[in-house]
Amino acid sequence: MVFAFLLAIAAGTILLLLPWSTAEGQSTGFVDALFMATSAVCVTGLSTVDFANHWTGFGQGVLLVLAQLGGLGFMTLASLIAMLVSNRLGLRMTLAATAERSTLALGDVRQVLRGVGLVTLGVELLVAVVLIIRFKTGYHYPWDDALWHGVFHAVSAFNNAGISLYSDSFNRFATDPVITGALMGAVIIGGLGFPVLVDLHLHGRRGWRHLTLHSRLTIAASGALLVVGWILISMFEWGNVTMADHSVPEKLWMGLFGSVTPRTAGFHTMWPSEMTDEGILFTMMLVFIGAGSAGTSGGIKVGTFALLALVVRAELRGDPDVVGFERRIPQAVQRQALTVVLLATAAVVLTVIGLSWMSDFTLQDVAFESVSAFGTAGLTMGITPHLTAPGHLLTALTMLVGRVGPVTLGTAMVLRFRSARIRHPEEAPLIG
């Protein structure tokens, strides 16, 4: 999987270096091309150049294709192609798809892969149609511009890529419920993760209790974070310059958008650099958590966050087992979740230290940029274009780690699990 991502980044870098990728009067260096290819493949959205004016239609198309491939997953795409060609999956490809999409059984793979293709095509097509009609009728775009903007942002939203054809992201559409509502819908569906969507399709009609524990944890935690984020973002920014000139309904709508998109989508309707300190800090928390596993999002994943919350609850209550929705969670899974979170924290801290050493920006700006890179969110304090070349390379590496790291690490830990033949004597160190 890592090799596939590196290969796509290399191919994207070469294509972006071609003369017809760059708009007249602009120039693209190797580091810029590498950074932008990494940002697209890792569905991040951070940019070293003005995306709206730097690239030609060809260059924008290259980045859109990279984002689609990075979001859908190379193993999934290869499996879909193999099914179309030969109508069957080999064992090796089945295992690869199982590892990437966190499928619970080999027999589910074919059904999951079909679901991936249908959900991706269906959601992107529906959102694109809504956006095209709105751009044409509400803003009088020419048909070709409306078509391109609609398709581009539908793909970018569903894949949580956060790449916008506008220099101000979606600030100009902050109070347009049709455009921002369609974007939020695509972001939420893409962020849930394909296993949850397939589980809802197969078992949702039978009721909540028939869903898998993973689906219930993801849906419950996602809903809780969305509501809490909506309340806190609205509260923190209510009287700030980001919302001050808007009516109460508009402020609430902007607060909802500000709660949905930080969990790796990267669009914004208010500049992060103008947010309050409290709003910035909470946004960073949402970015670090991310959305659902085996989907188009980054971060540590909302399921991991929910699992650790259950661990804390069990420890505070003195319960011998960690239980969620009447299911006991194995200790091995608890250790895996803790490992992912600690290594993710280490990756972010190392990036913060590196960028602080390489630049003169404030710690808040550098920390926000580092978390955004790891969480593949694409939200920025505006410092990315002004980083040095080593800073751009470090940020690109963090984006790659944030995109493939948790999935690869989690899969590796599952595959390496084995029963111990020897157990050492038990002794508990002091805690606290």
* 71 neighbors 43 (Cβ within 8 angstroms): yes
Q: What is the residue type of 5?
A: F
| Distance (Å, whole) CA 345 – CA 169 | 28
Calpha distance 6→142 (Å, rounded): 38
The DSSP code for 383 is -
DSSP state of 10: H
The count of residues in the chain is 432
CA distances to 226, 227, 266, 287 from 258, in Å = 9, 11, 10, 11
262: DSSP letter: T
The rounded distance, in Å, linking the Cα atoms of 186 and 170 is 15
pLDDT at 141: 95
Residue 328 parent element (H or E): strand 327-328
8 A C-beta contact, residue 259 and residue 286: yes
Tokens of 367: 């920390």
User: What pLDDT tens digit does each residue of the chain (432 aa) get?
Assistant: 778 888 999 999 999 999 999 998 888 999 999 999 999 998 888 999 988 889 999 999 999 999 998 887 755 655 555 555 545 555 555 555 554 444 445 455 666 667 777 888 899 999 999 999 999 999 999 999 999 999 999 999 998 888 999 988 999 999 999 999 999 999 998 888 777 887 887 788 888 888 888 889 999 999 999 999 999 999 999 999 999 999 999 999 999 999 999 987 889 999 999 999 999 999 999 999 988 877 777 788 898 999 999 999 999 998 889 998 888 998 888 888 888 899 899 999 999 999 999 999 999 999 999 999 999 888 999 899 999 999 999 999 999 888 877 666 666 655 566 666 777 787 778 776
Burial string for 205-230 (b: 16+ CB within 10 Å, else e) reads eeeeeebbebbbbbbebbeebbeebb
Q: How far apart are CA 301 and CA 6, in angstroms?
A: 22
Domain ranges (residues) in the chain: 2-415
CA 339 distance to own-chain centroid: 20
**Residue in 354, 396, 356, 353 with CA at minimum distance from that of residue 376:** 396
| C-alpha 218: how far from chain center | 14
Backbone dihedral angles phi then psi of residue 323, each to the nearest 5 degrees: -125, 135
Question: Dihedral (C-alpha) 28, 30, 36, 42: value to the nearest 10 degrees?
Answer: 170
**Chain centroid offset of residue 321 CA:** 31
Distance CA 189, CA 204 (A): 15
What is d(CA 291, CA 293) in angstroms, rounded to the nearest whole number?
A: 7
Per-residue pLDDT at 111 = 64
CA distance from start to end of the chain: 40
Residue 52, pLDDT score:
82
DSSP state of 87: S
Residue 195 CA from chain centroid, whole number: 16
**What is d(CA 158, CA 165) in angstroms, rounded to the nearest whole number?**
15
Burial of 1 (0-12, 13-18, 19+ CB in 10 A): middle
* 253 close to 237: Cβ distance less than 8 angstroms: no
Look up residue 144 and give its amino acid: D
Question: Which stretch of DSSP H or E encloses residue 323?
Answer: strand 323-324
Which one, of 369, 362, 363, lies nearest residue 384 by Cα? Answer: 369
27 to 125, 192, 390, 420: CA distances (angstroms): 34, 38, 19, 58
Contact in structure between 379 and 273 (CB atoms under 8 Å): no
